[in-house]
């Protein structure tokens, strides 16, 4: 099965691009073909780190968003088709929902054998909970939901775990995964390299090169993330 993965959370600063980068590295390391799209007009973090795999897309345009699913418009089987990663910028939910609903995208992808995954990256705060509720209101039980408790952006998820929104998500079959934090200075060095996670964890040359134990921490962090991804409908 191939999949289309909308990496969202709607608010800024929750780590959406980090999750998109992680998923891209997961596909690369597992020899899974994919193509990526970056919707952020200012930071283009996903495009910056995975330029060989990603391209920009304008969310405000149906014609732009149509490119997201153009990879599926072939005679290939669902098993042979590449997966798609869409790194959603903050405040893109409304134009995206209009495009999905008017195109009946979820039903079409289902007929073609492709999974549709909405990733809700959260920091555990009130806004993340409210936006999860809104996401469920928008799409109901139609897609797969993956709720990411990102400990790189928040440390207390008790409010989210006890919320009605989380109960609704779980009732809709949502997968809830935990992403541990990577040591802050190591993540900063990775970001300054403008390189993939693989390159950052193996490169020993340059001012921003990670030290021996920093590289090991990145590799350990990747393994932990991959273990959670293994059980998802990707």
What would the pLDDT profile of 25-37 be if each residue is shown by its tens digit?
A: 999 999 999 999 9
| pLDDT band at 223; cut points 50, 70, 90 | very high
Please check whether residue 106 is in contact with residue 116, taking contact to mean a CB–CB distance below 8 angstroms. Answer: yes
Distance CA(143)–CA(145), nearest Å, equals 6
Q: Does residue 81 carry a pLDDT above 80? A: yes
DSSP SS3 for 19: helix
Question: Does position 42 have pLDDT exceeding 90, yes or no?
Answer: no
The predicted structure's pLDDT at residue 229: 97
Distance spanning both ends of the chain, measured CA to CA: 7
Residue 3 has pLDDT above 80, yes or no: yes
Residue 137: is its pLDDT beyond 70? yes
Q: Please count the residues of the chain.
A: 234
Residue 209's pLDDT is what? 87
pLDDT of residue 11: 87
Nearest-angstrom CA–CA distance, 21 and 196: 8
* CATH fold of 3-182: Rossmann fold (3.40.50)
Specify the pTM. Answer: 0.94
Q: Which of 70-74, 206-210, 216-220 has the highest mean pLDDT?
A: 216-220
For the chain, give the mean pLDDT.
Answer: 92
Q: Is the distance from CB of 149 to CB of 157 less than 8 angstroms?
A: yes
Output the CA angle 22-47-209, nearest 5 degrees. Answer: 65
pLDDT in tens, 104-126: 999 999 999 999 999 999 999 99
For the chain, the structural domain boundaries read 3-182
pLDDT the model gives residue 77: 63
The string of pLDDT tens digits covering residues 175-193 is 999 999 999 988 998 888 8
Residue 168 reports pLDDT greater than 80: yes
């Amino acid at each position: 099965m191939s999949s289309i993965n909308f990496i969202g959370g709607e608010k800024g600063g929750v780590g959406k691009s980090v999750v998109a980068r992680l998923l891209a590295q997961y596909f690369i390391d597992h020899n899974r073909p994919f193509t990526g799209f970056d919707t952020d007009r200012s930071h283009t973090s996903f495009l910056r780190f995975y330029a060989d795999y990603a391209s920009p897309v304008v969310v405000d345009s149906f014609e732009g968003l149509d490119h997201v699913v153009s990879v599926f418009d072939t005679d290939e089987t669902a098993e042979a088709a590449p997966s798609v990663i869409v790194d959603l910028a903050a405040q893109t939910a409304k134009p995206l929902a209009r495009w999905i609903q008017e195109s009946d995208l979820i039903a079409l992808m289902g007929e073609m054998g492709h999974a549709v995954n909405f990733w809700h990256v959260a920091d555990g705060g009130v806004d993340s909970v409210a936006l999860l509720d809104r996401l469920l209101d928008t799409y109901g039980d139609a897609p797969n939901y993956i709720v990411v408790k990102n400990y790189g952006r928040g440390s207390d998820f008790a409010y989210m775990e006890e919320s009605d929104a989380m109960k609704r998500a779980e009732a809709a079959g949502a997968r809830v995964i935990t992403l541990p934090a990577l040591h802050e200075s190591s993540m900063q060095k990775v970001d300054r390299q403008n390189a993939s996670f693989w390159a950052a964890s193996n490169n020993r040359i340059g001012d921003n090169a990670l030290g021996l134990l920093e590289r090991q921490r990145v590799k350990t962090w990747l393994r932990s993330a991959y273990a959670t991804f293994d059980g998802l409908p990707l």
